[in-house]
Structure formats: structure tokens, C-alpha cells
A and B are shown apart, each in its own frame.
Chain A
Amino acid sequence: MLWKPLHLVPAKTNIDFIGKRKLALVGSTLINIIALLGVFFVGLNFGIDFKGGIAIQVRAKEGPAHLDDLRHVVGGLGVGEVSLQEFGDPTTALIRIQRQEGGPQCVAGAQRIMQARAGEGWQVKPGAPETGNVDFTAPRALDGANWRDAVSRVGLTILDRQLPRGNTQTATVDMTHEQRAEWCQQVAIKLVEDAIGAKYDLRGTESVGPKIGDELMHGGILAALATMAAIVIYVWVRYEWQFGVGALIAMLHDLITTLGIFVLFQLDFSLTALAAVLTIAGYSINDKVVIFDRVRENMRRYKKMGLVELLNVSINEALARTLMTSVTVFVAVLALVLFAGPVLYSFSVAMLWGIVVGTYSSIWIACAGLVYLNLRPEQFRHEGEKADEKADKAKA
């Protein structure tokens, strides 16, 4: 043999994990409470996927990106709250703009765009206040085709039936307030394009209107609940109810602390971050299952052993594989954190944390929880014997 395998974890360990359960439970409870308080009082840094809004990635045509300049210029466009950060390298910046509500500033912005893109003399005014209508005045009378062309420059569609017959100088585009808010997202993007286009390349733009943001938020919560429910049901069917409850508590622990990490570092909570959270929910169970499998096996083998001792034996026996399986995934995700770039950063960091905390909670939350859930070998003696009998019969 050229290379002898290394036992990274000693083959035989005898650590009293369950004996320290009180310390772990108190510590974990505290951390979870802090994480929950953080989520409710500090709040997650929701990305535009959920909050709605605009994110534009720009790269300076020459030299580094001047964040202060950008903040000043974009902040002065009347598009609401603007935040900036360097993105990946010093030449690149990410501009975030809050979701647009469709106020009078947006209509004023639309007028500036029309004047810049369709010619001087254009006027854009809000229409009747109970509607979201927008009134356009052209410098000269236009026919239908030119009207359609003109308003398409601010991202609007005007239908023939909305235009008066013949050439006209004014036209009204019918909108509700909600539709105007969606349109104002487009107006804001164009304003930024016009304001910084000379010095910066727009590398990528993402815009999520108010409607989609709300829908994704609901969908995300639903998906998270469905995933947790499905996993718990699976464990419950495959194992006894105590394991199901233990796994659920441990999974909640993993998810809550992961959310805590998002709050602590103010990581961007976007759709990909949600994907990380749901994957952690699935992965968290992986680890628990490895130990639960061993606990069940030992319950049949050592029918007279006390629960605490039995759990300790099981955890120690399974320790090597619990740690090793975590390390392989940890190594892979570490590569994502280091090399996959800024877009996947929050995702990768969350996954990394999920793996570490999942290993911890397998031992101290899921298994220690079993002690309090009345899981006694006595219950198993019966079933274990039955299973043995069955096996004997099958052999015969």
C-alpha cells in the first residue's frame, strides 16, 4: 500500500455526550431565542425577490467605481431609498433601489425620460387622482403610430381604443394605482440608465414589481412549511413518533439559527437563500437519520441498557460517520464560498453554517431530546422480539 488510510476520528470513543445535555439545551435555547428576537426586531435583510425593488450591477468604464458619486447621483433621481455596495471587485458596484410606489416623483421622472429620449417639449402629468392615469402632452400633434412609439420609450403600451381619433397632441394612458407602481419600476431603471450610462456599463438588471414580491414571499413561506411537514412525516412513518419530534425540534433549531446568521451578518435573504434554507432542512435530517438508525439498532441489541447510556453508546459508535459525512459536504460547500462569486455568497455561507449546526444538533438536540420524549427501551423489547421472530420464521 502506498498510502495508508487515516482514521480522522478515532475508531473507539467514549464521550459522555448526553451527560452534558442540560448545558447544551440551555445554551441552544438561549441562542435560538436570541436568533428569533433578531429576526423579529432587527429583521432579515430581504432581497428584492421578496421585497420588490431594483438591483442594477454596474461596472465603471474606467478605473474603480466611485460609490459616493453613484450614491449621490442615483439618490438624487427621486426613486426613493438607494443603497450601494461594492460587488466582487472595486470596479463593480451593486445599486439597489427600493420598490416603487408610483408617486408623483415617478411621473416627473417619466417626463425627464420623455424629454431626453423623445425630444424637448414633452410633458407628463398625473391624471385624475382617483385613478393611476398618466397624461401625456406632445410638442406637436401625433398620429396613432407615433403615439405608440413615443410612449413605448417610457415602457408603456397605448392601445388604439385609448387614443382619440385622428392626430392629437394629448393622450391619457389608463392605469390603476397598482399598474402605475409596476410601471414606475421601469421608469426608475431608465432614469438610472440615463444618469450614469456615460461612465458605467450596466452589466445586469433585476427588477421585481410589488405584486411578484408579495407572491414570492407567500410562496416561500408555504414551501418552507411544506418541506418541514413532509420531512417530519417521513421520519415519523419510518421511525417512532419520538424520533419524528426529535428531528423536528432539531430541524427547527438548525433553521432558526441559520436565520440568525442571516440577521447577524445582514446577508441578503433572496430566493437562493431560501433555497439554501430548504436544503438545510433536508440535509439536517440526513445526519439525524444516521444516528437514529444506530439508536434503533442498539435498542434491539441492548434491551436492558438505560436510555442515557444507550444513546451515548449509539452516538459514539456513529460519531465517525456523522463527522465524516459532514466534512465531505463542508469541503464542497467551502469551495462555493471561496470561489462561486458574490451571487451565491449568501447561499453558500448559509449552507456552510447549516452543515456545522446540523452536526451539532444531531447529537445534542435530536438525541438529547429523546431522553425527554419518553423513549424507553421497554417499548421496544416487544417490537424487537417480534422482528426477531419474523426473521427466524423467514429463515426457516
Chain B
Amino acid sequence: MLNLPRWQTIGIIAVTALAVLFALPNLLPSVVLDHLPNWYAQSRMNLGLDLRGGAHFLLEADLRSLMTERLTNLSDSVRGELRKQQVQFKEVAVEGGRNVVITLRDEAQRSKALEAIRAVDPSLVVSGSGDTIRVGYSDQEMAKKKKEVIDQSIEILRRRVDETGTIEPTIVRQGDERILLQVPGIKDTTDLKRKINQTAKLTFHLVNEDVAATGQNIPQSLPPTTFLVPTREGMQELRRANPKAWEEIQNANPRLTPEQICRRYQPQCLPVLKRVVVGGEDLDDAKSTFEQQQGGRPIISFTFNSAGGRAFCNATRANIGKRLAIQLDGEIISAPVVQSAICGGSGIITGQFTTQQTQEQALLLRSGALPATLSIIQESTVGADLGADAIRSGTTAALVGTAMVALFMFIAYGPLFGGFANLAMLVNLLLVIAGMSILGASLTLPGIAGLVLTVGMSVDSNVLIYERVREEKSLGRSAFSSIATGYERALSAILDANLTALIAGVLLFGFGSGPIRGFATSLTLGLLTHLFTATVFTRMLLATWVRWRRPTEIVI
């Protein structure tokens, strides 16, 4: 048992050294870290929101009313198509947020009615018998639509939250209809909440090329059909050059109109016609793609619905050579020149774009309005000073706890064996910290509690071994033999004890959210690494010591 092959010893030492290496950036003071290469110094555990300060929101999209609305639209189309095909019906109504129910006057017209429904959308699921026809989207179609809505909402949120200048928000889908939004280190959530709830508005306007208005040269009076709108680059430039002005604009109550912003702060602006050519609600899709000819430049392609396509066709046919401004939330995101009449419901925007730019613009075009309302169903905000308090008390508890456990082991088993146990405990702690750094796991306040608990539990295996050694020794075994048998016989209890605690840890991880998950992570990781330190590391320590000193008598 105590004979360890050389390669195992080397392996154990290598793992331990790696653990130290990965754990170090978390433990060194910032003075030392400043002198180390960046990639190494920054590979640290993330601090959870409860330690770092920040906001956590769980948002729920109102998909139910959105689906009801889509079904209402569907019932309108069905009604229209039935009339067109001269099918007589008593009623077309939305039923329970899942189906559109059609009641026919004459059962004989059923096949004709079914044909009409196929004409509306061939993918619809049709059921019912006699004079009743139920029409609905298939489960797959429904799931797909819901997924699209959530994805689009996430994109919009990302744009809105990033705009506030905050760092690295986490925005992820949770389940079917929820979005988790975490923004570390923000002070004022009121502003953030407002941003979430405001939705953007996208409109297409023609640029009034007859008015010369650039930079400082703003004419005092404009034709009544025209107004000024700042460009996106202009606003970004203003924000860089004059952050105070930018803040004033954001906080103004009531909100400044685009024209007021242009006159007061004079960012780059464009005069556009007030008449809306097409609204964002008529835009079906926009994506970044590449041109077929001319070396495949990155372009943006977009698709309108039928109403939008018609309006767009008329407007572009009459205005070739003029610029068409795309206004999003009171800023012009782009004003491409109309090259030709764009009919057929889809078009492209070309220009000197990079792929990144086209992707961004396509995203902006898609992020017109939130497709569904989002409500905050869970919120947790932690101020930075509250987080700092939590770090302080957590660190104190961890240090005191570790010191007390170490002291206890020294008193109970003497400097030598107590020292071995404490060394194993420290290596275990380093392994957990290294593991969390590598996994990129977040350390939360309950996570620190998990670490402290790990410290207490990790010396337990040494206690089990030492008590067994004491017992074997009192039975009259030699020093070498009592250590060997003591270790061997304690092993099964060590494994059982760890595995049962591990079961609880893993289940907690599966169930928990936020801070609890932090607790489960550090506890589970601690128990796993403990299996290494208890079965392998401690064994190496004891084996090396026994071979080195060849004790005839042990004091334990």
C-alpha cells in the first residue's frame, strides 16, 4: 500500500504544481500581478454578482398574448381567403390561444374550405369534422416561433444594455419563455430597467436633398415637411467628445426630439422628410450576406411583408438617386442611395462595409421593436459597497475557519501528522480554486461557505486514517505496518463519506440557481478534489515519509 511507483509520485507532484500555478493569480496581491503577463494574471475566478455588485433580472416574455395576436391575424387571412373562394361560413374565431375555429354554413363546402386554408399557409395543421374546422400551427411551428421571439428579444436587449456603457452583460435564454440578464457592477438599476422596457422604433424616411444642413450649418427654419435627425455616428462622436451633453440627452424629461438634439448639441444630422415610407413593423427580416458579383462585398439584405414591399416599391421607383434614411430610435443608422426601384419585397444595402459592420447593421434593422412585452419576475440588485462587505466578511470567515481547523489538527495529531493533514487540506483548497478558475465558475458568498465546509471535511479523511493508525498501533503492530493497514482500512469509509456528500452536492447544483449554484459548485468541486488529496496525495506524503525516516516508533 505504501509502495508508490515513481511515475505516480511525479504525477501527483505535477498535478499539485499545476494547481498552485492556476490558483496563484487569485491569491497574489495586485502589486505582484501588475508585473506578470496579462493572460496569466487575468485567469482568475469570476466573482459572483453578490460579491462584485451588480444586477440580476429574470425576464419573462408575454408569448401568450403574442400568439393570440398572431392567431387573430391568421383568422383575418382565413376569413379573407374564404370570402375570395366564396365559401359560406357562420363564424371564424380564435379559440384558447391555440386554434382558429371555422364554422361552415354548409358541410358540403368543406373540401373547398380546406383548399382555401391551404392557400393561406400550407404548413397549418387542420382538424375537426362536419361543419367545424380547426386550424392551428403545429407544435414544431409554435416552438420555432417562440424561439425566434426570444432570440430577437435577446438581441434587442443586448443592444440596449450595451448602449448604457456597462461591461459584459450576460444575456441568456432560460427555458422556453424567459431571459436571464446579468449586468455586473452597475450602480443605478432604474436607468437599466427603463432601457429594458423602452422599445426601439424603426422607420424609413427619404432624405430632403434640397436642404443643406451639415454640422454647424443648420438653417434656422426648415420646410414643414422636413425635420432633423442625428446620425448614429454623430451621436457616438458627441458621446466621445462631450460625455456631459450625452448624459443630459439621456436624462432629459420629457425626452428631447431628434430636432431639439440637433439644434442644441449639434451632432452630425440629416434633414429627412417626416412622412414615413415604411415602418419597422413591416420589415420581416434583415441579414448580413455577400454580393454575388464584384468580388463578394459584404452587404445587408432585407425583406418586407406584402404591405411594406408595395410601399417601398412605390417610394424607391419615384426617388432613384436620392438617399433613403433608416431611423432607429431617433438616430439615423444608415442612409443608402436608392440605385433602382426595389419591388418584390426585398432589397439590399451596399456600401463600403466590413462584415462586422453589415452584421451590426442587420442586427439594428432587426431590432426594431421588442416582439413581446418583457416583465421582470425576479430581481436582485447588489450595490458595490454591499458586495465589498460580503467579500470582507467572507474572507474573514474563510481565513479564521481554515486557521482554526489547522490549529485543531496540530493539537490533536502533533506537528508532523497534523502538518501532513494541513498540507493536504491546503493543496485541496488550491485545487478547488484552480478548478474554479479553469472552469470559469463564479465565486459567490455561499460559494465561500462551500469552501470553508470543504476545509472542514477535507481533514476528516486524515482523522479517519490517523484514528485507525492509533488503533492498529495499540494492537501492537509495528510503525510501518500500522500506517499501512490504518490507511488501507480507513479508505472505504472515506470513499463512502465523500460520495454521499457528493450526491447532495450534485443534486443541489442541478436544482439551485444563482448563489446556491455557487455553493454547490465549490462544495462539489471540493469533494472531488478531496478524493484526490485523500486517496493519493496523503498516501504519497505518508509513503515518502515512511521510506525516508524508516520510523520504528511513531508518535500519533
Q: Which residues of A contact B (CB under 8 A)?
A: 1-8, 11-12, 57, 88, 117-119, 144-146, 148-153, 155-161, 174, 179, 182-183, 185-186, 189-190, 193, 201-209, 211-212, 219-220, 222-223, 226-227, 230-231, 234-235, 238, 271-272, 274-275, 278-279, 281-283, 285-286, 289-290, 293, 317, 320-321, 324-325, 327-336, 338-341, 343-344, 347-348, 351
> What residues of chain B lie closer than 8 Å to A212, measured between beta carbons?
58, 377-378
> What residues of chain B lie closer than 8 Å to A185, measured between beta carbons?
376, 379
Known A-B contacts A3-B410, A289-B500, A332-B404; the reply to A278 vs B449 at CB < 8 A is no
B495 → A minimal CB distance (Å) = 9
> What residues of chain B lie closer than 8 Å to A156, measured between beta carbons?
197
CB <8 Å contact, A340 and B445: yes
Which 7 pairs show the lowest CB-CB distances between chains A and B?
A282-B504, A332-B456, A335-B401, A341-B393, A329-B456, A223-B511, A5-B414
B219 within 8 A of A: no
CB <8 Å contact, A148 and B383: no
B339 within 8 A of A: no
Nearest to A239 among chain B residues (CB) is: B496
A275 to B448, CA, bound (A): 13
B143 → A minimal CB distance (Å) = 21
- Mark contacts of B449-490 with chain A using CB atoms, 8 A cut-off: 1 yes-contact digit, 0 otherwise: 100110111011001100110110010000000000000000
CB <8 Å contact, A340 and B393: yes
B520 within 8 A of A: yes
A204 to B197, CA, bound (A): 21
> What residues of chain A lie closer than 8 Å to B22, measured between beta carbons?
none
> What residues of chain A lie closer than 8 Å to B373, measured between beta carbons?
157-159
A331 to B408, CA, bound (A): 8
Within 8 A of A (CB), among B386-401: 386, 389-390, 393-394, 396-398, 400-401
What would be 11 A-B contacts, judged by CB atoms less than 8 Å apart? A1-B416, A5-B417, A159-B369, A160-B199, A174-B65, A205-B381, A206-B380, A271-B512, A271-B515, A328-B459, A338-B400
Known A-B contacts A156-B197, A160-B201, A320-B467; the reply to A341 vs B376 at CB < 8 A is no
Q: In the complex, given contacts A155-B193, A155-B376, what are 14 additional A-B residue pairs having Cβ atoms less than 8 angstroms apart? A: A3-B414, A5-B413, A5-B417, A145-B330, A152-B197, A156-B197, A174-B65, A186-B193, A190-B190, A271-B516, A282-B500, A283-B501, A331-B456, A338-B397
Nearest to A173 among chain B residues (CB) is: B373
CB <8 Å contact, A290 and B493: yes
CB <8 Å contact, B389 and A341: yes
B198 within 8 A of A: yes
> What residues of chain B lie closer than 8 Å to A3, measured between beta carbons?
410, 414-415
A300 to B468, CA, bound (A): 18
- Among B254, B449, B510, B513, which residue has its beta carbon within 8 angstroms of that of A340? B449
- Among B195, B389, B516, which residue has its beta carbon within 8 angstroms of that of A275? B516
- Among A157, A204, A328, which residue has its beta carbon within 8 angstroms of that of B408? A328
A185 to B254, CA, bound (A): 25
Nearest to A331 among chain B residues (CB) is: B404
CB <8 Å contact, B474 and A11: yes
CB <8 Å contact, A275 and B512: yes
CB <8 Å contact, B501 and A282: yes
> What residues of chain B lie closer than 8 Å to A211, measured between beta carbons?
60, 377
A152 to B369, CA, bound (A): 14
Q: Which of A183, A189, A321 has the most CB of B within 10 A?
A: A321
CB <8 Å contact, B520 and A148: no
CB <8 Å contact, B504 and A279: yes
B119 within 8 A of A: no
> What residues of chain B lie closer than 8 Å to A161, measured between beta carbons?
69, 281
CB <8 Å contact, A227 and B504: yes
> What residues of chain B lie closer than 8 Å to A222, measured between beta carbons?
511
CB <8 Å contact, A57 and B417: no
> What residues of chain A lie closer than 8 Å to B510, measured between beta carbons?
223
CB <8 Å contact, B199 and A344: no
B450 → A minimal CB distance (Å) = 9
Nearest to A213 among chain B residues (CB) is: B378
Q: Which of A12, A183, A289, A340 has the most CB of B within 10 A?
A: A340
A281 to B385, CA, bound (A): 35
A130 → B minimal CB distance (Å) = 15
